[in-house]
Amino acid sequence: MSFPGSGLAKGLAVTLRTMTKRSVTAQYPDVQPDLPPRTRGVIGLFEENCTVCMLCARECPDWCIYIDSHKETVPPAAPGGRERSRNVLDRFAIDFALCMYCGICIEVCPFDALFWSPEFEYAETDIHELTHERDKLREWMWTVPEPPALDPAAEEPKELAAARKAADKLAAQQQAEAEAAQAQAQSQASEQESADQDRPDTPGEGT
């Protein structure tokens, strides 16, 4: 059961506790904030991995990704082979005035061409300038932090396990071949030594 004026007393108590604490002010922009490693700032583009599959643009809920490309004919790698056609990226732009930072484009990219960057200082005075082209997106790519280390008790990825198994198998095969060659060389040397000892002395030797 509350008595009259209890709410006022609680409010004054909070005020008194706050007054005794020293206020902490982040001196931005002189002091940059310490952002979490998975901060969703802007989207960086690793252009070399982009195959112009258009999956990110199709899955974007805001339709804020603009991609232009053209096809080029690639000559055959070997004589008698067939020519191939590949998509060449002409434009990759993101309108951050429309982007809602959902991260769907990053999740659906099958070739790891899009990454979250913690960069957040990209304000503009004109809303039309918030559409950033691939050159700017590539600059932000180099601000992407390294992925966090795996849990020491986590299971090794299947790709690394398969690669390690193949490397160990190849190393064991090479070691076995080297040991076999060494054993064969030792056997031939011992046989040669035995044959030299069994060879009869010819007349006149040792005189």
Give the pLDDT confidence of 92-147 residue by residue, as tens digits: 999 999 999 999 999 999 999 999 999 998 989 999 999 999 999 999 999 998 87
DSSP 205: T
Residue 18 has pLDDT above 80, yes or no: yes
> What percent of the chain is predicted at pLDDT more than 90?
45
Specify the pLDDT at position 110: 93
Task: Quote the tokens at residue 67.
Answer: 């991609």
Residue 50 has pLDDT above 90, yes or no: yes
Specify the pLDDT at position 133: 95
Specify the pLDDT at position 187: 84
Specify the pLDDT at position 201: 61
Residue 205 has pLDDT above 60, yes or no: no
Specify the pLDDT at position 1: 58
Which of the residue ranges 50-54, 126-130, 179-183, 198-202 would you say has the lowest mean pLDDT? 198-202
- Report residue 207's pLDDT band, with 50, 70 and 90 as the boundaries: very low
DSSP 18: H
Task: Quote the tokens at residue 144.
Answer: 């992407």
- Residues with Cβ within 8 Å of residue 170, at least 6 apart in sequence: none
| pLDDT, tens only, 158-178 | 877 888 888 899 999 999 999
Residue 25 has pLDDT above 90, yes or no: no
50 membership: H or E segment, kind and range: none
The winner for highest mean pLDDT among 2-6, 11-15, 21-25, 105-109 is 105-109
Query: With helix as H, strand as E and coil as C, how does 133-182 read?
Result: CHHHHHHHHCCCCCCCCCCCCCCCCHHHHHHHHHHHHHHHHHHHHHHHHH
Specify the pLDDT at position 137: 95
